[in-house]
Amino acid sequence: MSQQSSSSQEEMKPIDWGKILHEDKMTLDLLDAALKPGRKLREMDKNVINSFIEDLAMIDEKVKAFDFHNNLQLANQASLISSNIQDAIMEFILALDLLDTEHKLEPKDIEFIRRRFYACLGNGQKYIQEALQQFP
């Protein structure tokens, strides 16, 4: 009897997982939309990127703290989400460094830095999209 109830609990977990992380998925969707190529990217400044990093770090923390009750599939999904989020954070930190650097440079160098800046935002978005794919 107890085994039966435990197995039906197992079946319910994917739904719980989706429900619990619904808000996180919505946040990732919003970040993904904000990073779509367009003029908004031109207006990205340190404050916006810092808020992205904070949001991502919070999601990562939640994903890591989640109890998967030995459900390997969910644990793997969570681990992929976490790894993609960490990669996205790294890209945004790099983007922040690039913004800091460009103040002291000649136009030709600024151009190079800008290209890398946009590439970093694009990579960050790619990792966010990969994380999103792991959501049920």
Partner 1 sequence: MLQSSSSNYDESALLSQEEIKTLYTIIDTLHNIQKQLIPGPGIRELMKLNVSGGKHTIDMYIGDLGEIFMHLEDLKEKPLPPDLPLSIGDTFAKSIETIYILIRDAIKHLNMAVGNAEEFNRIQLNGQVAEKDAKDINTNNALFQENVERCRQLLKDAEKKAVVLKIPDTVPNNPTEKAG
Nearer to partner 1, 52 or 117 (CB): 117
Work out whether 111 is an interface residue with partner 1 (CB under 8 A): yes
Q: How many angstroms separate the Cα of 12 from the Cα of each of 16, 62, 65, 69, 80?
A: 6, 20, 19, 12, 21
- Answer for which of 22, 46, 64, 115 binds partner 1 (CB under 8 A) is 115
Residues 78-107 that bind partner 1 (CB under 8 A): 106-107
CB atoms within 10 A of CB 73: 12
Work out whether 122 is an interface residue with partner 1 (CB under 8 A): yes
Give the 3-state DSSP-derived string for 101-121, with helices as H, strands as E and coil as C: HHHHCCHHHHHHHHHHHHHHH
Q: By the criterion CB under 8 A, which residues form the site for partner 1?
A: 36-39, 41-42, 106-108, 110-111, 114-115, 118, 122
